[in-house]
Amino acid sequence: MKTILLSICIVPLLISCNINNSDNESSTSTTDSIPEVIEKTPFPALIPGEVEFLDEVFGEIIELNGTSHPLEQIFKIQETQLLAKNDTLFIKNRNGDYYFMAFSLPSFEHIRTFGRRGKGPGEFNGPSIIQGSSSDYLFSVYSVNGKVYHVNKSFEIIDSGIAFDTKRQLYDPNMICAASEDEYYYVGVAPVAKEIYKYSDNNSIPETSVKQLSVKGFKGWASYTGYLGANFKKDRLVFAYKYFKKIVFTDLSGNVERTLNFETNTKTEKQSNVSILGPSSVTYYWGLSVQDDYVYLLYSGRTPLVVTEELREGSGYIYVEQFDWNGNPIRKFKLDHWGYFCVDDKEESIFLASTTDENPIYSFKLPENQEIK
C-alpha cells in the first residue's frame, strides 16, 4: 500500500461574518511578543501527471455514527444543499414557498426561513448555492434563468446584475464557484465533451476556456456530470466525475494538471447518455465540499438500484473521501446514513441531510488529522 506524507504548509486566514451584523473580529500579534518574523512556507507545487490508486491507499476506513438533530420545521429532503459557515448551517431545500433555512450551530436553533419562490423582486425559481462569495455576503445563489444573486447579512436577496449565457447549459449548481463578486469558474458544454470556463464581468471577453474535461472514448454530455470546487488561496481547481472514479486537480489557469485515477468501471464508448444516467450505472462521486485545508468528496461506488434496495432495509450508508489540495488521499470515512452533505468551515464536523429519516439532519464529528507516516 502506498503511503502519503501530508504537509500542511499554509495556515489560512479565516474571515468570518456574523449574521447578526456585529463587527468582524480579527486577532493580531504584537511585535513585542514576537521579536522576529516567521516566514511561511509556500504551498507545494502541484505535481503534474496521472496517478493510479487503489482504494487501499486511504488505509483503514473510519466509521462514523451520526447524531440526530430534530428540527421543528418539517420538509422532505430533495435536491438539497448544505453550507456550514460562521457557526450557521444553511439548508437549501423547498419548505413551503421558501427555498432556504438558517440554523445556529451547535444549537440548531432556527434563525430564519427566506428566499421566497416567485418572479417578483427578491424572489426566484430553482436557486442553488454557489461555492465561494464575497465576505460581504452570507453566500451567493445561481438561478435557473442564469442570474447570480447574493444573500446579505440581513437575509435580503440582492441581484448582482450578472447573468451567464445559458447556452452553456449551466443547469448544474454543483459546477459553479465564485472567486469574487464578479469572477466565476464553471463547467459548461464545449465542442467536445465539457470544459471549465472562467467568467469575469470586468473583461471585454467575459468567458474563457480554462480546462477540457475529456475522457477518451466518451463524447456524450452525461459522461461529464460531476462536481467542481476551488481554493483561490492555493491556486487550485478540482473536478470529480460522477460516473468515473476519477478526480482532476489543476491550477486556476489550467496549465498544470494532476489526475487521480481509481478506474474500476466497465463503461464503454458505445454507452449512450441514457444508459450512463440509468439506475444500473455505478455512481461514484455524489457531492463535494471544499475548505481551506482539504477537499471532501461524497462517494457511493454503487448503482442507484443497489442503494434503493439498501434504503428499503434501513438508513443506508455513504462514504466521504478526504484529499489535500495537491491531490493526495488522506482518509476515508463511512457515514451510517445516506444523503446530502457538507463539511463546516472549521473542518471539525460533517453535516448530512438524510433522505430517509423523519428528522433528517445529522452531524458527524471529524477525528483530528494525524500525520501519515
pTM, full prediction: 0.83
Higher per-residue pLDDT: 163 or 338: 338
Cβ neighbors of 38 (< 8 A, separation 6 or more) are: none
pLDDT tens by residue, 203-222: 777 778 888 887 777 777 77
Q: How far apart are CA 257 and CA 343, in angstroms?
A: 25
Long-range CB pairs of 77-82, under 8 A, 24+ apart, other chains included: 77/339, 77/340, 77/353, 77/354, 77/355, 77/360, 80/339, 80/340, 80/353, 81/128, 81/129, 81/173, 81/340, 81/342, 82/340, 82/341, 82/342, 82/351, 82/352, 82/353
Higher per-residue pLDDT: 272 or 177: 177
Q: Which of 152-156, 256-260, 317-321 has the lowest mean pLDDT?
A: 152-156
What is the percentage of the chain residues whose pLDDT exceeds 90? 47
Q: How far is CA 124 from the centre of its chain?
A: 22
Give the model's pLDDT for residue 233. 92
The yes/no answer on whether domain 49-264+275-365 falls in CATH 2.30.40.10 is no
Cβ neighbors of 331 (< 8 A, separation 6 or more) are: 58, 59, 62, 321, 322, 369
